[in-house]
Amino acid sequence: MSVVLVDAGGTNIGSVRYALQRLGVEAALTADAETIRAADKVILPGVGAAGPGMARLRELRLVELIRSLTQPVLGVCLGMQLLCEHSAEGDTECLGVIPASVRRFEEAPGLCVPHMGWNRLSPIAAHPLLKNLQEGDWAYFVHSYAVPTGDYTLASSQYGDVFSAVIARGNFHGMQFHPERSAGVGARLLKNFLEL
């Protein structure tokens, strides 16, 4: 099985790669369109802001390619948000494969932004990506913007409002948390993705 990490400049690439190695998978880091198109699984990692993230994908001429992929694709953290139609962060047009708009968390007493740390997951739809995920399992988040829940939501979490923690539409999937930092739960969900 060939797995590629899209080299879109995310600072979590090394840790995602190491998490895959722990699962016995060597993932190539690449921005080459043909390598990405030929892979069995594609992972779009990302840490940072939506505007620079999309600018990097445009600069690499990967926007239309990613939209056209038919194999399983996984967006992680910012990579998940980039799968959506639009982000309020920098008023950014994104990839548009998930029909959602990314919003900033509302600051409130006791709720600092960014949302940073461990939070519980609530599965709300049956999907192979969630195999063996239990209600209340913990995952590690670091983000200021979130995807609201919708018919694409597989699992949610709550920080003030309820938001999408895991999403899917067709062959496109996303995890808002960092599976590579989420211990056994993260490893299990990455393994589930590799088995799709």
Which residues does the annotation mark as catalytic? 77, 178, 180
Contacts of 55 (CB under 8 A, 6+ apart): none
Copy the structure tokens of residue 141.
């988040």
Q: Please, which residues have CB within 8 angstroms of residue 36's CB and are 6 or more apart in sequence?
A: 4, 6, 30, 42, 62, 65, 66, 69
How far apart are alpha carbons 21 and 178 in whole angstroms? 16
Listing DSSP states for 15-38 in one string gives HHHHHHHHTT--PEEE--HHHHHH
Closest CA to 186 of 145, 130, 135: 130
Beta bridge partners of 173: 74, 168
